[in-house]
Amino acid sequence: MTPSASVYIQSTQTDPEVQARSVIRAGYERLHVMIARLFEPPSETSGEKPGHHTPSLWYSGELRRHLAALDETLYAAAAQVPGTQLLVRALRIGSSALDQRIDALDAAEDGTSAVGAAKAIEAVLSVHHAVEETILLPALVALPGAMLPSLVADFQTLLDGGSLGPPAVIDVRGMSREQRHPGIFARYARLAPGETFTLVNNHDPKPLRREFEAAHSGEYTWTYLEKGPDQWQVRIGRSESHG
């Protein structure tokens, strides 16, 4: 057992997967409650039709915050794990579909249109949630160390409207190989255009650069600050023109 490893009893509240599932589920339940307001029957005296709650920037903002928080934490870490790359690609396609339906909700001009858009959002959200619980979380919990708990903590911070702060330095020399790339890509996902972080390693991270080129060609910057022989430092950033 490594010094950073945690001891827990599987399938109890100390199990990282159980804790993660609880946090993710709470986030989705909040969205479902929010969307359900669009289906509430009007009061007898209002004369309004179902779906009378006017869609607003608040609705779309909360939905998009949830999707962005997932993408910047769980999805970003899993995107470079061979066993979950295609899964993350599919989830991101689903997120794009959700974004279009949120646009439709925002643009709804009457109750009927709002209810239709909300039902479409509910359907896609339910599939999203099921896939994350049954496939994504078990895959992430299999990563060594405390990767999943830290990702879920970051997710909750973003969901609460907080900020994770600009990453500064990531020293991966004490991490296992399985932790390094998911952690680095999770940090990259949080960068704003023009922001950078410094990677410290004990070898030239050429394999990592190939992965960046495959996933973010033309979107990232890569500058060597130190080239061995015992320590390598690379400044990695998000290009100004890519948000």
Region 5-34: mean pLDDT is 75
pLDDT surpassing 70 at residue 12: no
pLDDT at position 209 is: 94
Region 1-21: mean pLDDT is 58
| Residues 69 and 63: beta-carbon distance below 8 Å | no
Mean pLDDT computed over every residue of the chain: 81
pLDDT at position 1 is: 34
pLDDT tens digit sequence for 174-228:
887 777 887 788 788 778 788 899 999 999 999 999 989 988 889 899 999 999 8
pLDDT surpassing 70 at residue 3: no
Region 131-144: mean pLDDT is 83
pLDDT surpassing 90 at residue 92: yes
pLDDT at position 166 is: 60
pLDDT at position 202 is: 94
pLDDT tens digit sequence for 149-165:
878 888 999 888 888 76
| Residues 87 and 181: beta-carbon distance below 8 Å | no
Output the pTM of the full model: 0.69
Q: Grade residue 129 by pLDDT with cuts at 50, 70 and 90.
A: very high
Cα–Cα distances in angstroms (integers) from residue 243 to residues 16, 67, 103, 110, 192, in the given order: 31, 16, 20, 33, 6
| Residues 114 and 55: beta-carbon distance below 8 Å | yes
Q: Largest Cα–Cα distance in the chain?
A: 78
Is CATH 3.20.20.30 what the domain over 165-238 is classified as, yes or no?
Answer: no
Percent of the chain predicted with pLDDT > 90: 32
Region 110-125: mean pLDDT is 86
Region 1-18: mean pLDDT is 53
Region 69-89: mean pLDDT is 84
pLDDT at position 143 is: 63
pLDDT surpassing 80 at residue 52: no
